[in-house]
Structure 1
Amino acid sequence: MRNEKSLMRKTHFLGTKIRNLRKRNNLTMEDLSARCMRVDASNSPSVSYLSMIERGKRVPSADMLAVIAVVFQKEVEWFLDDVPEDHAITPEKGNKGGISGMPLEPSFLFSNDILQIAIPEMLSQTGTSGRQFAHLLIRAHQEHHQNHFPDLERAAEDVGLKRMPLMADDMMSIASRMGLVIKWVDRTPHEIRDESGASSRQLVTSFFEPPSTIYLNNSLKKRPHRLKYDLAVHIGHCVLHNKDGLKSVMTSGRLEDGEDNSIGQSNTLNAQDILHAWRDFESSFFAGALLCPKVPFRQLLDRHGYEINVHKQLQVSASVAMRRMTVVSPYPHWHFFDAYAPGKLKAVYRGNGIPLPWGNMRLVEDPCQHWAVFRMINEPSTGTSAQISILNVGNQPRIYCCESVKVEDSAGNPHVLCAGIDLNPAIDAQGKDSQSIANDLKQACVSGGGSIAIPKHIKQDLTSVAKILNINWIERGIKNDARLICSRGAVCPRQPSCYAAGKNLCEES
């Protein structure tokens, strides 16, 4: 065992290194203490002791330092004074939000008056409805803030008292305390067609009637996860908007709640449309925070390595659990897709800036069939769906990992949920060169015809990142072949291209 006195003489910068490593990985002291507990409960530091270590007031024992080293995937010697590696432990602030913006220059063309004229014209020319544009604005706001809405979290915690899980009876009791009256109605799914002609089923699951009545579909009695979500949304509407915000009927199906293709959607945009869409978003976010309160849900995910199936323990849908994952994780670089065949994204979140799988919210002519969400829609799925992908973003390759699940909505339509992260920032946080690693992996995939078993040296780096992030499906993805994907066929990186001679070869692969 290492001599304790010798260890103390080499730990002048140990507290700084631990603190900076913790911050670079977006971990709180509670997170780090919990991670250490999972490695070795008998030698893990408490939160208060960890605080003293970071401030240089205490020196960990050799065994405790070994546990911390395992969490951060470092050799014990790295923490000692003779291995400074200052460049590898300096915290980085990073950029907020995922999608890059653009400079609004020349500024006189982007004045309020000009934009108020140009936006309705743009909507008319592109066939974008006012409601769709409102959703785009809200998603941009959500991604810019990386799902950080503390006022909505607090409002949900005040109602639910951070209890988890909340069962259907609990939700009924909360609704009753709010003065809401529950009534049951019968509604059956009906066939609808979207603008592309695709047919699917849509079901009205609930609706609100002023001043205080919630009508719930009898079918929800057999789907407690959807029953709880609908109640949570209506409770959020009551708490946040004094029962004056939710204009949409809640539905299950391909279309957005309240979206009805039987009625021609207007390209005009008015303030009420945007306000009501925003209130719908707030109520939905509130519902997730009520059913999966931030701190206990984060602790549950940490104990189970961010496995998607934790939603079963809470009797919430996989969709609610995966959306909340992107909110509560200390790692901010997430994306989430909710996709229906043949090519409809019902919901999107991109805090990591990943392009859309289809180039927009609808199917385009040259989609890349190698995206995990595409493959699961189009192919029978067996085993884990975890996938490591390499995608050029801004002319530089980025490494993504995702986990996808195929589920059925309350109307009986199959769809795919996909949660994923951008691994480049996590690689950089460990003092590695993510661009070099991504380039090496991309070239290996190109040489392998588009996919390849991950080379051993890259696998080691990615495995370390997976252990630090504590996300099990990254480790499973590393065991599968890495795949090249593209945002559109015109920039297919494969050799030969999937779109050689104008033919979409992806459909045959």
Structure 2
Amino acid sequence: MKTTNSLNRQSHFLGTKVRNLRKRNGLTLEDLSSRCVKIDPEDAPSVSYLSMIERGKRVPSEGMLDVIAQVFQKPLHWFLDDANEEKEITPEKGSRGGINGMVLEPSFLFSNDILQIAIPEMLSQTGTTGHQFAHLLIRAHQEHHQNHFPDLEKAAEKVGQKRMPLSVADLLDICKEVGVKIKWFDEPSQDVIDSHGIQSKHIVRSYSEESSVVRINRALKDTPEKLKYDLAVHIGHKVLHNSDGEKNVIASDNRNLSTLKPEFNKTRDVSHLDSKHILQAWRDFECSFFAGALLCPKVPFRQLLDRHGYEISVSKLIEVSESVVMRRMTAVSSYPHWHYFDAYNPGKLKAVYRGNGIPLPWGNMRMVEDPCQHWSVFRMIGIPGNTPVAQISVLNQDGVPHIYCCESVKVKDMAGNYHVLCSGVDLNPALEAQGEDAVEIATALQKECVRKGGQCEIPYKIKQQLLTVARILNINWIERGIENEARVICARGGMCPRQPRCYKEKSLVSNA
């Protein structure tokens, strides 16, 4: 017989295991409690007690744990710390995107008090700024919800009345309606050098000067699609937050932090972690999402994409930037398995969304010197011209090969810096929806690429299978990608598939 103290010392993963078992079996807390009552009414936990067990707030008695174990047909020792497989305690992600999380156990080490002390120390030791950490939190939240924020969509639709396209004049009228006053200023772009000694251009496009007053760089008049976006962001700042909070600044350069002006830096010091800066970063995200929803309302925009096969060129039809179109695709499409990158040379990701959980070609908290050059988003940086390029890629995700297709295009920002925008989809779920064995198909394509040195023409049978899902998804650039050679790509630059040790048959699964 185990004592209560004995269980206490062996039950740090117990709550997580119970929760994961319950969710994987499709049971609610009420369902599990009632099934326990059927087995033993006296030792059965109530719904509220089960909730506390799952959150690590209570340790069940041996009798209660035995009842739970009987429901799931598990031996009692399976729930204790020493009986531990990684999948038993990995948080259930379900259909959500992003990468798998880690279990926050033992709960006493992951308490709010301890995390509040440990996170700033961790950021300090790794050189991660509070600003970068804020954007990592936001990205995780965005991916967890698969870019669905209905309250922001509704707020934008109420203001724009689902009109599309909105002209500059329309947006200026909306500014008047919501009480935003526009003032213009003149300021050219300037040369800047980042912490890595890389030179680029920087320009402040617009900023909120004071309550309900927004200053717009007159240079934006030459690029209506960028002017419209800035106006939409500041409308969002007014509608969502009544222009409260820190100054909302929009600038163009190759860094995650866009402000250089001393008066802006005083209000947005990013060298340390501060809850106010986390909140401001979240408000910036809300205003940006609102702007996309205002310019591309969900239903009309989805219908436009359907009519044109998700071509990026629809940006010209409604006079918005390619960036807005490609980001909005991930939010309005009925197919949830999208990713989006915004990359600057030589190896900086300024924006990331991974609703399909695709590994990163490189991180956006540091510059990577040797990213795998066969990612489309990286190759495009060095290719002349701005013609969109579609690519089929095979990449391991959690040890399983996935087939991705993306469309990448090189564009200039307002300051004159070239960067690459990339939108893509994971085709494995679409293949599985058609009754195909997606892993088998991806493995076969991966092996053929490896056999040919890292890239190959797609075999006829696989081409037909991919063509079927391309037409079902109604995404034209998947069909274009199928006509090009498929490429093996890697999540780590030091393991590029063009290096012999990476594409030998024996290391295909672990390293490709």
Q: TM-score, normalised by structure 1?
A: 0.77
* Number of residue pairs matched by the alignment: 408
Contact 1:120 1:267 in 2 (8 A): no
- Picking from 372, 378, 392, the partner of 1:374 is 378
Alignment partner, residue 349 of structure 1: 353
Contact 2:489 2:496 in 1 (8 A): yes
Contact 2:342 2:349 in 1 (8 A): yes
The within-5 A match list for 1:254-269 is: 254-256=254-256, 258-260=258-260, 266-269=270-273
What SS class does the counterpart of residue 355 from structure 1 fall into? coil
Alignment partner, residue 218 of structure 2: 218
Alignment partner, residue 459 of structure 1: 463
Supply the distance in 1 between the matched residues of 2:281 and 2:355 (Cα, whole angstroms): 20
- Picking from 436, 449, 454, the partner of 1:432 is 436
Alignment partner, residue 478 of structure 2: 474
TM-superposed deviation, 1:256: 3.0
TM-superposed deviation, 1:358: 1.6
Alpha-carbon distance change, 167 to 382 in structure 1, aligned in 2, over 3 angstroms: closer
Amino acid paired to 1:110: F
TM-superposed deviation, 1:497: 4.2
Supply the distance in 2 between the matched residues of 1:181 and 1:330 (Cα, whole angstroms): 37
What SS class does the counterpart of residue 250 from structure 1 fall into? strand
Alignment partner, residue 240 of structure 2: 240
Alignment partner, residue 229 of structure 1: 229
Contact 1:192 1:199 in 2 (8 A): yes
Supply the distance in 1 between the matched residues of 2:270 and 2:238 (Cα, whole angstroms): 28
Select between 429-438 and 373-382 the one with higher mean Cα deviation: 373-382
Alignment partner, residue 142 of structure 1: 142
Amino acid paired to 2:222: K
Alpha-carbon distance change, 146 to 109 in structure 1, aligned in 2, over 3 angstroms: same
Amino acid paired to 1:141: H
- Picking from 408, 415, 428, the partner of 2:419 is 415
The within-5 A match list for 1:384-395 is: 384-395=388-399
Supply the distance in 1 between the matched residues of 2:250 and 2:387 (Cα, whole angstroms): 33
- Picking from 297, 309, 331, the partner of 2:313 is 309
Contact 1:386 1:477 in 2 (8 A): yes
Supply the distance in 1 between the matched residues of 2:370 and 2:211 (Cα, whole angstroms): 49
TM-superposed deviation, 1:297: 0.2
Supply the distance in 2 between the matched residues of 1:499 and 1:190 (Cα, whole angstroms): 44
Supply the distance in 2 between the matched residues of 1:380 and 1:259 (Cα, whole angstroms): 29
Amino acid paired to 1:392: N
What SS class does the counterpart of residue 109 from structure 2 fall into? helix
TM-superposed deviation, 1:245: 3.4
Alpha-carbon distance change, 261 to 104 in structure 1, aligned in 2, over 3 angstroms: farther
The within-5 A match list for 1:494-505 is: 494=498, 496-497=500-501
Supply the distance in 2 between the matched residues of 1:386 and 1:362 (Cα, whole angstroms): 27
Alpha-carbon distance change, 374 to 498 in structure 1, aligned in 2, over 3 angstroms: farther
Task: Spell out, residue by residue over 1:277-329, the C-alpha distance to the aligned partner (whole angstroms, 9 max, x if none).
Answer: 11110000000000000000000000000000100011100001100011000
Supply the distance in 2 between the matched residues of 1:256 and 1:426 (Cα, whole angstroms): 34
Alignment partner, residue 197 of structure 1: 197
The within-5 A match list for 1:263-278 is: 266-278=270-282
Supply the distance in 2 between the matched residues of 1:245 and 1:292 (Cα, whole angstroms): 26
Contact 1:123 1:267 in 2 (8 A): no
Supply the distance in 1 between the matched residues of 2:254 and 2:503 (Cα, whole angstroms): 29
Supply the distance in 2 between the matched residues of 1:255 and 1:199 (Cα, whole angstroms): 11
Amino acid paired to 1:194: D
What SS class does the counterpart of residue 153 from structure 1 fall into? helix
Alpha-carbon distance change, 215 to 499 in structure 1, aligned in 2, over 3 angstroms: farther
Contact 1:401 1:477 in 2 (8 A): yes
TM-superposed deviation, 1:214: 1.2
Q: State the identity %.
A: 66
Alignment partner, residue 10 of structure 1: none
TM-superposed deviation, 1:268: 2.2
TM-superposed deviation, 1:267: 3.9
The within-5 A match list for 1:41-60 is: none
Alignment partner, residue 178 of structure 2: 178
Supply the distance in 2 between the matched residues of 1:490 and 1:333 (Cα, whole angstroms): 27
Contact 1:201 1:412 in 2 (8 A): yes
Select between 99-108 and 452-461 the one with higher mean Cα deviation: 99-108
TM-superposed deviation, 1:490: 4.3
Unaligned 5+ runs, structure 1: 1-92, 501-509
Task: Spell out, residue by residue over 1:101-129, the C-alpha distance to the aligned partner (whole angstroms, 9 max, x if none).
Answer: 11112222111111111100111011111
Q: TM-score, normalised by structure 2?
A: 0.77
Is 1:101 the counterpart of 2:101? The answer is yes
What SS class does the counterpart of residue 107 from structure 1 fall into? coil
Supply the distance in 1 between the matched residues of 2:499 and 2:227 (Cα, whole angstroms): 49
Amino acid paired to 1:224: P
Is 1:297 the counterpart of 2:301? The answer is yes
Task: Spell out, residue by residue over 1:433-454, the C-alpha distance to the aligned partner (whole angstroms, 9 max, x if none).
Answer: 1000000000000101000000
Supply the distance in 1 between the matched residues of 2:317 and 2:257 (Cα, whole angstroms): 26
Amino acid paired to 1:247: K
Supply the distance in 2 between the matched residues of 1:233 and 1:384 (Cα, whole angstroms): 27
TM-superposed deviation, 1:247: 2.2
Supply the distance in 2 between the matched residues of 1:472 and 1:185 (Cα, whole angstroms): 42
Task: Spell out, residue by residue over 1:134-188, the C-alpha distance to the aligned partner (whole angstroms, 9 max, x if none).
Answer: 1110110001000000000000000000000000000000001112211111011
Supply the distance in 1 between the matched residues of 2:230 and 2:96 (Cα, whole angstroms): 31
Amino acid paired to 1:142: Q
What SS class does the counterpart of residue 335 from structure 2 fall into? coil
Supply the distance in 1 between the matched residues of 2:98 and 2:353 (Cα, whole angstroms): 9
Supply the distance in 2 between the matched residues of 1:219 and 1:100 (Cα, whole angstroms): 43
TM-superposed deviation, 1:345: 0.9
Amino acid paired to 2:213: T
Alpha-carbon distance change, 384 to 275 in structure 1, aligned in 2, over 3 angstroms: closer
Is 1:154 the counterpart of 2:158? The answer is no
TM-superposed deviation, 1:384: 4.7
More RCO (CA 8 Å, sep 6+): 1
TM-superposed deviation, 1:394: 1.0
Aligned CA RMSD, in angstroms, stands at 2.0
Supply the distance in 1 between the matched residues of 2:122 and 2:436 (Cα, whole angstroms): 44
